Amino acid sequence: MNLLRDMDYSVLQQCMHCGMCLPTCPTYVETKREKNSPRGRIALMRSIADGTSAVSEAFADEMYYCLGCLACQTACPAGVHYAELFETARAEVERANVLPGVERGFWRWLALDVIFMRPWMLRAIGIVLRLYQQSGLEALLRRVRFFGLLPKKFESLEKQTPRMSAAVSDELIDVLETPAEPRYRVGMLTGCVQDIAFSDVNRATVDVLLANGCEVVTPRSQNCCGSLHAHNGAVENARELALRQMSAFDLDSLDAIITNAGGCGSHLKSYSHLLPDHPMAKKWDAKVKDIHEWLAAIGLRAPMASCGVDRVTYHESCHLCHGQKVTRQPRELLKAIPGLEVVELPESNWCCGSAGIYNITQPEQSQKLLERKAGHIRTTGCKHVATSNPGCHLQIQRGMNEEVQVTQPVLLLAAAYQRESRQT
Ligand X SMILES: Cc1cc2nc3c(=O)[nH]c(=O)nc-3n(C[C@H](O)[C@H](O)[C@H](O)COP(=O)(O)OP(=O)(O)OC[C@H]3O[C@@H](n4cnc5c(N)ncnc54)[C@H](O)[C@@H]3O)c2cc1C
Binding site for other proteins (CB under 8 A): 10, 13-14, 16-20, 22-23, 32-35, 37, 39-40, 43-44, 47, 52-53, 56, 58-59, 62, 76-79
Candidates 20, 29, 125, 302; binder of ligand X (CB under 6 A) is: 20
CA distance 108 to 104: 6
Minimum CB separation of residue 45 from ligand SF4 in Å reads: 11
Which of the choices ligand SF4, ligand X, other proteins, none does residue 10 contact, using the CB cut-off of 5 to 8 A by kind? other proteins
Candidates 49, 60, 69, 321; binder of ligand SF4 (CB under 6 A) is: 69
Interface with ligand SF4: number of residues (CB under 6 A): 27
3-class DSSP state for residue 177?
strand
Candidates 6, 18, 220, 421; binder of ligand X (CB under 6 A) is: 18
In this chain, which stretch among 34-42, 54-62, 199-207, 211-219 interacts with ligand SF4, using CB under 6 A? 34-42
Interface with ligand X: number of residues (CB under 6 A): 3
3-class DSSP state for residue 288?
strand
CB burial of residue 370 (10 Å; 0-12, 13-18, 19+): buried
Minimum CB separation of residue 245 from ligand SF4 in Å reads: 24
Minimum CB separation of residue 328 from other proteins in Å reads: 12
3-class DSSP state for residue 327?
coil
CA distance 306 to 232: 41
Who's near 281: CB < 8 A, 6+ residues apart? 242, 246, 271, 272, 274, 275
Q: Tabulate helix, strand, coil % of the chain (nearest 5).
A: 60, 5, 35
Q: Which strand (E) or helix (H) includes residue 386?
A: strand 384-386
Q: Describe the crossing of helices 38-49 and 57-65 by its angle, rounded to 10 degrees.
A: 140
Q: Do 268 and 225 form a contact (C-beta atoms < 8 A)?
A: yes
Angstrom CA distances, 354 to 41, 56, 398, stand at 20, 26, 11
Q: Does 139 bind ligand X (CB under 6 A)?
A: no
Q: Does 81 bind ligand SF4 (CB under 6 A)?
A: no
In this chain, which stretch among 5-13, 21-29, 209-217, 269-277 interacts with ligand SF4, using CB under 6 A? 21-29
Q: Does 150 bind ligand X (CB under 6 A)?
A: no
Residue 55 or 235 having the CB closest to other proteins: 55
Q: Does 414 bind ligand SF4 (CB under 6 A)?
A: no
CA distance 400 to 358: 18
Which of the choices ligand SF4, other proteins, ligand X, none does residue 72 contact, using the CB cut-off of 5 to 8 A by kind? ligand SF4
Residues that bind ligand SF4 (CB under 6 A): 15-21, 24-27, 38-39, 41-42, 66-72, 75-76, 78, 80, 82
